[in-house]
């Protein structure tokens, strides 16, 4: 499995596959790989003939006070994991390759980027939309796969691809969880032993809200109780726990359409997010 670092090399390799009539899948990542990422590679591989995985810690989706510097980087280990999962090519560009001097364009997906994560990390979703639009245009894949773990990110990417007429099928891969329910995340590496023991409470809180919504109970009260429960369990702050329309992410008071319970909460300096689907 080759690693390429320039857009020109990436395009050349993909063009060669295209002349053979092969279908191409793209799996964008920032590295720090875990089973969740590898399941996305396998999903892309089941739908296409050749899989390009990307490794790029995207600076534009981090605020200055966030963990851009500490974000796990181990290209050798990640390369082996990608190869084992069936990737054919890794695109690992430098920051200068992706954002050369004079780069001034930012892609903003209005509305759906303004709620939930948008309220707490206003730079994040525009940074994601910008880098993902670039990766899609650079590689022009048939299929691109993103994890449902970052559910709002997936919704933003779907809206962007629709609005910009980018000819690609966006596929969402299921969240992979540890025993106990903690969603796998590169940032779980930051958790100490005590925090690791508390962290699954976020998923339990989402499940309790989903149960209350299905039972027709007061969703606002259920979210408030779940917030109190997280603080009692050892979380230091809850950014949000909400029931939302699964397509538009509009907040719901009752379960009257396919929905998602989404949450973000802090364990000390570590921010965890998670979400689950819930149907009427």
Q: Which residues are catalytic?
A: 37
Residue 91: beta bridge partners?
4, 54
CA distance 48 to 24: 5
222 binds ligand PAF (CB under 6 A): no
Question: How far apart are CB 208 and ligand PAF at their closest, in Å?
Answer: 27
Question: Are β-strands 2-4 and 89-91 bridged in parallel, bridged antiparallel, or unpaired?
Answer: parallel
**How many residues sit in the footprint of ligand PAF (CB under 6 A)?**
11
Q: Which is nearer to ligand PAF, 32 or 227 (CB)?
A: 32
- Contact between 75 and 1 under an 8 Å Cβ cutoff? The reply is no
Which of 10, 14, 24, 30 binds ligand PAF (CB under 6 A)? It is 30
Residues facing residue 274 across a β-bridge = 263
Choose the binding region for ligand PAF from 8-16, 126-134, 256-264, 272-280 (rule: CB under 6 A).
126-134
| 79 interacts with ligand PAF by CB under 6 A | no
* Residue 136 is a binding residue for ligand PAF (CB under 6 A): no
- Interaction of residue 29 with ligand PAF, rule CB under 6 A: yes
Minimum CB separation from ligand PAF for residue 82, in Å?
13
Minimum distance of ligand PAF from residue 58's CB (angstroms): 4
Between 153 and 175, CB nearer to ligand PAF: 153
Q: Which helix (H) or strand (E) holds 80?
A: helix 75-85
Q: Which residue's structure tokens are 């969703």?
A: 219
Are 263 and 202 in contact, with CB atoms under 8 Å apart? yes
Is residue 28 at the binding interface for ligand PAF, with CB under 6 A as the rule? Answer: yes
Judge whether 107 and 254 are in contact, CB under 8 Å.
no
Task: Take residue 235 and report the two structure tokens written for it.
Answer: 């979380």
184 binds ligand PAF (CB under 6 A): no
Q: Which of residues 41-70 bind ligand PAF (CB under 6 A)?
A: 58, 61
Cα R_g (the chain), whole angstroms = 19
Q: Nearest approach, Cβ of 27 to ligand PAF (angstroms)?
A: 9
Which residues are within 8 A (CB) of 82 and not within 5 positions of it... i.e. 6 or more apart?
1, 33, 38, 41, 53, 55, 90
Closest CA to 195 of 204, 182, 186: 182
**Under rule CB under 6 A, residue 227 binds ligand PAF:** no
Write out the residues near ligand PAF by the rule CB under 6 A: 28-30, 58, 61, 128, 131-132, 146, 150, 153
């Amino acid at each position: 499995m080759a690693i390429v670092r320039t857009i020109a090399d990436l395009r050349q390799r993909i063009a060669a596959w295209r002349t053979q009539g092969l279908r191409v899948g793209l799996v964008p990542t920032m590295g720090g790989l875990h089973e969740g990422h590898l399941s996305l590679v396998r999903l892309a591989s089941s739908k296409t003939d050749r899989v390009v995985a990307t490794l790029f810690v995207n600076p534009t989706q981090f605020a200055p006070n966030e963990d851009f510097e500490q974000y796990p980087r181990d290209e050798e280990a990640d390369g082996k994991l990608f190869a084992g999962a069936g990737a054919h090519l890794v695109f690992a560009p430098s920051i200068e390759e992706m954002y050369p001097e004079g780069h001034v364009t930012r892609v903003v997906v209005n509305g759906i980027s303004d709620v939930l994560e948008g309220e707490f990390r206003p730079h994040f979703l525009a940074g994601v939309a910008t880098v993902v639009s670039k990766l899609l245009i650079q590689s022009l894949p048939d299929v691109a796969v993103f994890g449902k773990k970052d559910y709002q990110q997936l919704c933003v990417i779907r809206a962007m691809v629709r609005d910009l007429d980018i000819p690609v099928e966006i596929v969402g891969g299921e969240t992979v969880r540890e025993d106990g329910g903690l969603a796998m995340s590169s940032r779980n590496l930051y958790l100490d032993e005590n925090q690791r023991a508390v962290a699954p409470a976020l998923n339990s809180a989402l499940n309790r809200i989903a149960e209350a919504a299905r039972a027709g109970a007061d969703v606002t009260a259920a979210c408030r109780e779940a917030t109190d429960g997280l603080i009692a369990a050892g979380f230091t702050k809850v950014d949000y726990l909400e029931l939302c329309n699964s397509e538009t992410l509009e907040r719901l008071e009752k379960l009257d359409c396919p929905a998602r319970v989404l949450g973000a909460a802090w364990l000390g300096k570590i921010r965890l997010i998670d979400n689950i689907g819930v149907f009427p």
